[in-house]
Structure 1
Amino acid sequence: MSAQLKPSSADDRLHQVFGVPVDDLYTAAVRSDASPALSRALELRSFLALAEAQVARVRDRVHEAMAADRDMDELFAEDLRMDAQWLEAALDARDGYRAALDDLLRTMPPPGQRARAVRTVQPTLATVLPSAARAPKGAGAARGRRL
C-alpha cells in the first residue's frame, strides 16, 4: 500500500493548514505551480505514515504474542527484546517526522503565497592605505628554496 493511501496523525492538521483533504493535496502537489512547502509537507507526511504503520505493526505483534489465550511455550524473551528495539526505532522515527512536519508547517509562508527570494545588499567598503603604509615591493613573494 502506498504511503499516500495510509492514514497519518498529521492528516487533520494538513487539512486545516491547506484547506483541502490530504488526497487533494497530493493531486495539487504534482502541478507545476505547487509550492515547495506543500511538496515537503507531503513528503514528511508520507514518511510519518510509514513510521506510524511500523509502530502499529510491532504493537499488534506484541499484543498477539502476549494474548491471554496464547500458549506460554510460544513466548520468547529474545523475540520481545527485538520487538522492543524495533518499536523504539519506529517511535523515534515517528517523533522525528512529526516534529519536522510541525516545524515546516509553523514556518512556511501562508498557503497561496509563494516564498520569495530575499535579496540582501552587502555594503562594500573600499579602503585605500596611505602610501607609507603600503607593503614594500616584493613583500609576500615566494622565495626560492635554500639548500
Structure 2
Amino acid sequence: MKLDQTDKKIIQLLGADARMSNNQMAKVIGVTEGTVRNRIQKLIKNRVIKISVINNINRMENPSLAFVGLDVETRAKDSVAKALSKMKEVRFVSSLIGRHDLMAFVLAEDVTKLSKVLYEEISSLPGVRFSESSIGLKYYKYDYRWARILD
C-alpha cells in the first residue's frame, strides 16, 4: 500500500496522540471526518498501523529488560526465531550479521520471570547453541515507534 500525504499525516497525529478524535484530525489535515475514519480503517486493514496500548517501561514496578544474542544451528535459525516470536515476554527478534545469529529483546515484569524466560524457555529451544544476555539497569529511552508490525 502506497501512503499519500493524508495517510502520513494521520499516522503522525495518531503517533503523537492516539486518542485524538477523527474530527480533530480532520480539522488539522483539512479533510472531512469521514475521510479520516475511512483512511484509518484502511491503514489498519492493510496492517500499516495497529492501535494498541503501550506501557511505559519507566512506570513498571520492577521491569527487567534483557538483550539476548543467540548463536543457533544454521538449519534451526528460522524455527528458533519463530519460537522466540511466540513468547509473550520477547518483544523483538531479528536475524543478524555479526557476533550472533539472532538478537532478542526480552521484557519481563520482574527478574524472577526474566530468569525463567532466559534460562528455562530460551536456552531449551532446539537449535540454540549459546546465548549471551545483557540486562538493562536504567532505561533512558524506550521508543516503541521504531518497531514494524510483522506477521
Give the TM-score normalised by the residue count of structure 1. Answer: 0.23
| Structure richer in strand, relative to its length | 2
Give the TM-score normalised by the residue count of structure 2. Answer: 0.22
| Structure richer in helix, relative to its length | 1
Larger radius of gyration: 1
